[in-house]
Amino acid sequence: MTDAAEAGRSLTPSKGPWLVVIDPQNIFAAPDSAWGSPMFPAAFANIRRLADVATDRVLVTRWLPTADRRTSWGDYFAAWPFADKSADDPLYDLVPAARSLSPHPTLDLPTFGKWDAIDRFLSLSKDIGSAPVVLAGVSTDCCVISTALAAADAGARVTIAADACAGSTPENHGAAIQVMGLYPPQLTVSDTTSALRILAG
């Protein structure tokens, strides 16, 4: 698993807003995966556009099945046995097109929400830590919303690029976007066009 502090020390990125891409992994993208999002191809096209503008200010996360099975995660994996594999299973790899999104190591966590690790990485520099964040990824109704709500509690300034997020279904995506829209000014629901302007500074 990636150590966020070591990751933060690996490069000195340019200043400005950051793009955070949540879990662009095979398990959430493959059409034959039980968790594959039908929205992923369209969302990823927008993620690529955002990353091209953010350049070295991109973080990518991964969800890994390493949680303690003695907790409710044990019940979770009992309900989804197809996902109860080792963390190095190809299911948990980034999709090939996502491997070039960021120059930084992935932030790998066994939790839906990724904000704690993201915050540790960004807070290594006061300038970086105060920068706005554009949030994108998959799935909107699980790991994206879990990350966004924790970011709101932390006082972050987050813009959700809704058309760069992929939900488990279009209906669930819409429901999650509606909930995140209830948290201004910490969370602002927007789109790729507006997020590109933010990332361009």
Residue range 30-82, pLDDT digits in tens? 999 999 999 999 999 999 999 999 999 999 999 999 999 999 999 999 999 99
Give the domain ranges of the chain. Answer: 4-200
Rounded CA Rg of the chain: 16
The CATH code of domain 4-200 reads 3.40.50.850
Label the pairing between strands 187-190 and 18-22: unpaired
pLDDT digits (tens, 9 = 90+) for 88-106: 999 999 999 999 999 999 9
For residues 22 and 137, is the Cβ–Cβ distance under 8 A?
yes
| Alpha-carbon torsion, ordered 186, 136, 92, 124, to 10 deg | -50
The pTM for the full model equals: 0.92
Where are any strands of DSSP class E within the chain? 18-22, 58-63, 107-109, 133-138, 158-166, 187-190
Closest CA to 22 of 108, 89, 80: 108
